[in-house]
Amino acid sequence: MHIKGNAWTFGRNINTDLIFPKMWFRPTYQPGEMASHLMVGIDESFPSKISRGDIIVGGQNFGCGSSREEAAAAMKEAGIGAVVAPSFGRLFTRNCINVGLPVVTSAHIDEQVAQGDQVELDLAAGFIRVLRSGYEARLPPMAPESLKLIEDGGIANYTRRVLAQRRKAAG
Amino acid sequence: MHAISKIIARHADRESVEVGEIVNVVPDYVMLNDRGAARAADLLRQMGGEKVFNPSQVVVVFDHHYPAIRQQDSVAQKKTREWIKEQGISKFHPGEGIGHVIFPEKGYSFPGALIFGTDSHTVTNSALGCVATGMGHSDIASYLALGYNWLKVPEVVRFDLHGEFRPGVCAKDVALRIAQLYGEDAAPYLGVEFAGPLVAKLPMAERFVLCNMVIDFGAKTGYIQPDETTRRWMTQRAPNLQWLAETTDSDSDYSRVIDMNVSEIESLVAIPHDLSTVRNATELSNVRIDEAIFGTCTGGRIDDFRVAAAIMKGKKIAPHTRMMVNPGSRETFVQAMREGLIDVLVEAGATIGVPGCGPCSGCHQGMLAPAENAITNASRNFKGRFGSPEANAYVASSATVAASAIAGRIVAPSELTVRSGDSHAH
């Protein structure tokens, strides 16, 4: 999976309350609704500033806190190409994998990327590059099961496939 | 293997698993809260799943937005009531309290179990010696469709706790000390076990506090090796339930062991807006408190009410301060009434709300205005967590919250005891 985009940078311990504030929780969401509230706990104008394919670069422990899937789903819906940080909150990582959003761990990456930098990364080849500075790092290998789930477009597609197989087997 | 690995292996129908491996597991129970049930039912439909695979393993609670505060919530709750009927889900607890408080009370979590829930504080259950972890809505929807889910086997770090608590100090202060020393990412993706002579002496309520807080160090699950205290709890809560506690093979099953002497710990407070910025309560005496928020899945158990009532008995909450109390469960509420604890709090000036999450992400019952200061025995002080993003939330123990409500500013419980008899110090 090859991804290239412009970076938006954030600090340490950015929790999911900030990424998707609870005032925007809804039992069901209209298309585009989640994306329209992405990161508004930090910057209210963020949803209008970003373009599809942009990359979010966070500091340590990015996405910590509540299990709210909307944090990852809003990024996916906004067309974010990947989210990169030195470390992530566990539930956020899991939710990214499940919604099919590449979630990429790279030590010290927050010190290497400035706002607006073009960042290029490849999950299969296992590298990340910052084009302005020429910085390049190897990515730690992702569990093949997780990579496959991301490439398949997330757990919804996986579930649909298994259900279809079961129905076929049941005749 | 660590006991956590063994529990995962058993639920994956495997002899053994390796740390880092991803396996498909079948949990014993899955908790859906009001928000989770509405979203997961919606996502299940989108995934093409018509029937819940195993409705007898699904427990639905209404704790976040109950009683409904907006029409969208009452509409969602009505839909969920219809949905659980249609799906044959009979384990339903609307308004009976917070999922993480009622799960251990009702015997849904037990030693050796695997528990999933649509909420990050599902980890609370792991104090019983089980694996319990939060999941996203799509995760749970996929489980509802297929009857299993994927789980990565975590490394485990152990905190060996020893020493004696100073007066007024408790498990919550230990959790805050860990956040202070090791940060909010002290244990990313890890299992966190609490052990040592201090843990052996802790009642279940204090153990639930320790394990509740591991998510706020980034952990996947907590763990406490079941012992006599655990057995007593289970006998009382679920006398007919068969359960099997796992044990850890050796010290080499830990990626790290951290020794901690609790005798050195004072009453601690996490200051806005981050759990890892922690001060001694005695250093914060200039922080005026507008609202004390008492309850939640961290501090809403009967033991917390006993602690608060002991501190507040015969005293009044400071005139400029208000105190919002939400019992963690209906059972806690009833017990606190029986023991006269609710009387003590109400006579002191507290407002009692319904069992549930209350202001902590419950989006209701005590929201803060901009520039207001709150002290809470909840787990988080994130910006905007209790209302206005311009408000300030301080996280402390039940004792520190009760003492600070009386003082009208942040005090350590030991200070209030020393000064009892004095009028309010403002």
Residue ranges and CATH numbers for the domains of chain B are 3-260 (3.30.499.10), 270-418 (3.30.499.10)
CB contact (8 A) between residue B120 and residue A158: no
CB contact (8 A) between residue B141 and residue A28: no
Contacts of B40 in chain A (CB under 8 A): none
Backbone phi, then psi, for A57, in 5-degree steps? -115, 115
Mean pLDDT of successive 10-residue segments in chain B (426 residues)? 98 96 96 95 94 97 93 95 98 97 98 97 98 96 96 97 97 98 90 98 98 95 98 97 97 97 98 95 98 98 98 98 98 98 98 95 84 97 90 98 98 78 44
Backbone phi, then psi, for B282, in 5-degree steps? -65, -20
The pLDDT of residue B211 is 98
Contacts of A28 in chain B (CB under 8 A): 38-39, 42
Which residues are registered as beta bridge partners of A84?
A: A57, A104
CB contact (8 A) between residue B142 and residue A69: no
Backbone phi, then psi, for B407, in 5-degree steps? -75, -25
> Looking at chain B from residue 22 to 81, which residues have their Cβ under 8 Å from any Cβ of chain A?
22, 35, 38-39, 42-43, 46-49, 72-73, 75-76, 79
Q: From A159, which residue of chain B is nearest by alpha-carbon distance?
A: B142
Nearest to B382 among A65, A89, A95 (CB): A65
For the segment(s) A2-169, the CATH number from 3.40.228.10, 3.40.50.970, 1.20.1260.10, 3.20.19.10 is 3.20.19.10
Mean pLDDT of A53-60: 97
Task: For residues B358 and B63, give the distance between their C-alpha atoms in angstroms, rounded to a whole number.
Answer: 8
ipTM computed for the complex: 0.90
> pLDDT tens-digit profile of A138-158?
998 888 889 889 988 999 999
Which residues are registered as beta bridge partners of A105?
A: A85
Which range, of A24-28, A41-45, B111-115, B347-351, averages the lowest pLDDT?
A24-28
User: Where does the pLDDT of residue A67 fall: very low under 50, low under 70, confident under 90, or very high at 90 and above?
Assistant: confident
pTM assigned to the model: 0.94
For chain A, how are helix, strand and coil distributed in percent, rounded to 5?
35, 20, 45
The pLDDT of residue B277 is 95
